Structure 1
Amino acid sequence: MVNVLLAGAISMAVALLCTKPFIRLLVRHRYGQFIRDDLVHHHVKRGKPTMGGAVIIGAALVGYFASHAILEALGAAGVLKASHRSMSLSALLVLFLLIGLGGVGFLDDYIKIRKERSLGLTSKQKLLGQTLVTVVFALGALLLTNTDGRTPASTAVSFIRDTDLDLAVAGPVGGLLLFILWASVLIAGASNGVNITDGLDGLAPGASVMVFGAYTVIALWQYNQGCTVAPGPSCYDVSDARDLAVVSCAIAGACFGFLWWNASPAEIIMGDTGSLSLGAALAGLAIMTRTQLLLVVLGGLFVIITASVIIQVISFKLTGKRVFKIAPLHHHFEMVGWSEVTIVARFWIIAGLCASAGLALFYGEWLANR
């Protein structure tokens, strides 16, 4: 628990203190955001510093590794046992997703700035980058083993635990290929969901804090009720659960510290660097904690906003009519006349309710299996 809180506190402090100097650096180099022409409410944000997600990624990495280094020093002094301070393969793979998709998002943001347009990488280029990172992650999650000889991930499709639907039924090679495909769907869906949601000041980082916070609670609970700690019918067979809580809290803390500068009126925009990386990290946590489909509930706000885009596209192609004035959903409410602060506050409430509902389902299932 000490490691979890320490990682969150360090990452929050780093994001809080380092974002302002990063803003000055971006302003000096004129790295500003370009806005879609149809978003007339947001033309005032044109040229605002972007790529703020780099601060979130950096702060999360500092929080995770610094907390382990501090506890390593305390362990060397005989204050803590080695088991309380060791890094894990599972957490490192989640951080790999954070960095990898952050790199794809950084290229996207950089192209927008260099070419002075609102579109960066093409959809094919972005998909290729996401796929390459996902394949490396999936191979590592299924082929590498941690200190206890287990692989971080399972080929079984999971909801709150692994279900009976096991992709390994297709054989060793087929199961691996199906897992890569399934992981690609989860990671692409989550990263693009957060990306679509990142359209108003503070909306995506604030919602992300709640979901990463929920995953911190889930991973800690899985560790305390793990089959090696508390064997029984309701125990969790999750590898490295405690360290997954550490990395989740580190990312939550980084988002929370960044939110100080990103809340309306934002001084910096997270950009695809942040949104793609945060969504990928959420998917990585869902895979590692065996709660893949529960992410749909925990990140319900991202699902709702993404669904609004899908509904809009399908409706327009089939009927020639639009369901919303503009998609995604938060921009629709801007057109209706809601203020940006009102939309963000109410959507944060929805995000909190979704995260709470996911935690309730998670805990309720544990109670039912006792």
Structure 2
Amino acid sequence: MRQILFASGIALAVSILLTPLLIKAFSRQGFGQEIRVEGPASHQSKRGTPTMGGIAILLGLWAGYLGSHLIGLGYDADGPSASGLLVLGLTTALAGVGFLDDYIKIRKQRNLGLKATGKYIGQISAAVIFAVLALNFRGGSGLTPGSTSLSIIRDTTLSMGAIVFVLFTCAVVVSWSNAVNLTDGLDGLAAGSMGLALGSYVLITFWQYRNACETAPDVGCYDVRDPLDLALVCAAGVGACIGFLWWNAAPAKIFMGDTGSLALGGLFAGLSITTRTELLAVGIGALFVAEAASVLIQVAVFRSSRRRVFRMAPMHHHFELGGWPETVVIIRFWLVAAIASAVGLGLFYSEYLAAVG
């Protein structure tokens, strides 16, 4: 438990202290955000706000994780695990894709960075490497970070096989990274919502650790490799998001950019796979799912009927154009994210009670 607090605290400190330094450095270099001309008119005033603040989130995440392990050595804690490093590796790889996208936008001074093909190549390449490695590195009990069985709250009897697992992982990683990217359109919306979702995963991974089949074999135990280490990753993610949110809350002094949004989406995807909760994650991250779904619905309906379901997609812009102030949209969407996280936790715990009951 101390390590979890250390991870969160270190990540928070690094993120909240590093972000203002990035604001100054990026402002001097002219690394400002370009704004979509077809977006809400109120957003044009944000043009030139420093972007690529996701660097602070990523560094805070790594600092919290590694720092908690260094401090934990005094408590005879285990070192970094395969599961934790794989999830962080996926997060870092997608941050690299996002950084390239952001950099191209800045250099060309337009709101278009990497082409869709280039972005998908980066996302899928990272996902394939993660998936292949996740089926290796067996622990003492024979568990690997990933499982070829489809998982809801724990593994089901439906086995996908290695090849389908790789394809499934690609779909999960691409879907979550793009969903978080689409949600990152208002000040603090993505950072605050992801902090809530990761907070629920802190509790889930800690519960899996306390009831792990490897250390406490009993009815309802969990076959998850390295649950405590994954809890450190989640806690560091929460701390990093909160630290960044201090500067990213409306009116934002800096944006996370694709560097941060793709990284956080990859983090969430990696955690869902390594904790055997791929389908439960859909409930916990329901806000991100709804944002992505609004874009898909808008495109599908418009192409088929030339009509628009939403005033503008993603749907947070729909409410803005409907007259809601930006801060009202943000706070209400945070409430939706909090409710989704709470419902996800309720489903997780109710499944445990049913298993032991």
TM-score using structure 2 length = 0.98
1:201 matched to which residue of 2?
A: 187
Once the two structures are TM-superposed, the CA of residue 147 in structure 1 deviates from its matched residue by 5.2
- 1:237 maps to 223
CA distance in 2 between counterparts of 1:85 and 1:229 reads 14
Matched, 1:30 2:30: yes
Displacement of 1:66: 1.0
Aligned-pair distance for 1:148? 4.8
Measure the CA separation in 2 of the matches of 1:321 and 1:143. Answer: 48
SS of equivalent to 2:103: helix
Alpha-carbon contact 1:98-1:280 (below 8 Å) kept: yes
Asked if structure 1 preserves the Cα contact closer than 8 Å seen for 2:143 and 2:224, the reply is no
Paired amino acid for 2:241: C
Query: Aligned residue for 1:214?
Result: 200
Q: 1:347 aligned to 2:333?
A: yes
* Alignment-derived partner of residue 246 in structure 2: 260
Q: Does 1:153 align with 2:139?
A: no
1:35–1:42 CA contact under 8 A, matched in 2: yes
User: Counterpart of 1:163 in 2: which secondary structure?
Assistant: strand
Distance 1:299 1:98 in 2: 17
- TM-score norm. by structure 1 comes to 0.95
Q: 2: CA distance between counterparts of 1:290 and 1:227?
A: 14
Counterpart selection for 1:316 from 292, 302, 305: 302
How many angstroms does 1:314 deviate by?
1.1
Does the Cα contact within 8 Å between 2:181 and 2:258 map onto a contact in 1? yes
Per-residue deviation, 1:165: 1.1
Tell me the equivalent position of 2:66.
65
Query: CA–CA distance in 1 between the matches of 2:141 and 2:25?
Result: 44
TM-superposition CA deviations, 1:95-130 (whole Å, max 9, x none): 001100000000000000001110100000000000
Letter in structure 1 aligned against 2:33 = Q
Unaligned stretches of 5+ residues in structure 1: 75-79, 168-174
- Tell me the amino acid that sits aligned with residue 311 of structure 2: K
- 1:129-170 deviations in Å (ceiling 9; x for gaps): 001111111111002334554311110010001111101xxx
Q: 1:336 aligns with which of 291, 313, 322?
A: 322
* Of 121-130 and 229-238, the range deviating more from structure 2: 229-238
Map 1:23-172 to 2 at 5 A: 23-39=23-39, 40-72=41-73, 74=74, 80-81=75-76, 84-146=77-139, 148-167=141-160
| 1:305 match | 291
Question: Which amino acid is 1:57 matched to?
Answer: L
Distance 2:310 2:38 in 1: 14
Amino acid at match of 1:138: A
Pick aligned residue for 2:169 from 167, 183, 188: 183
Is the counterpart of residue 290 in structure 1 residue 267 in structure 2?
no
SS of aligned partner of 2:135: helix
Structure 2: how far apart are the matches of 1:206 and 1:315? 30
**Secondary structure in 2 matching 1:49:** coil
Q: Counterpart of 2:308 in 1: which secondary structure?
A: coil
What is the deviation of 1:366? 0.2
Task: For residue 150 of structure 2, give the secondary structure of its aligned residue in structure 1.
Answer: strand
1:170 corresponds to: none
Asked whether the 8 Å contact 2:16–2:244 carries over to 1, the reply is: yes
* Rounded Cα–Cα distance in structure 2 between residues aligned with 1:228 and 1:164: 20
Q: In structure 1, what is the Cα distance between the partners aligned to 2:71 and 2:231? A: 17
Tell me the equivalent position of 1:171.
none
- Could you tell me how far apart the structure 1 residues matched to 2:164 and 2:215 are? 32
Distance in structure 2 (CA, Å) of the matches to 1:218 and 1:26: 37
Selected match of 1:326 from 285, 307, 312: 312
Return the offset for 1:229: 2.8
CA distance in 2, matches of 1:191, 1:207: 14
CA distance in 2, matches of 1:358, 1:189: 19
Contact 2:32 2:51 in 1 (8 A): yes
1:369 aligns with 2:355: yes
- The runs of at least 4 consecutive aligned structure 1 residues that moved more than 2 Å come to 143-150
1:166–1:43 Cα change, 3 Å: same
SS at match of 1:369: helix
Please tell me whether the aligned partners of residues 8 and 240 of structure 2 are also in contact (alpha carbons under 8 angstroms).
yes
CA distance, structure 2, for counterparts of residue 145 and residue 232 of structure 1: 21
* Structure-2 separation of matches of 1:230 and 1:369: 15
Aligned match of 1:172: none
Q: Aligned letter for 1:143?
A: N
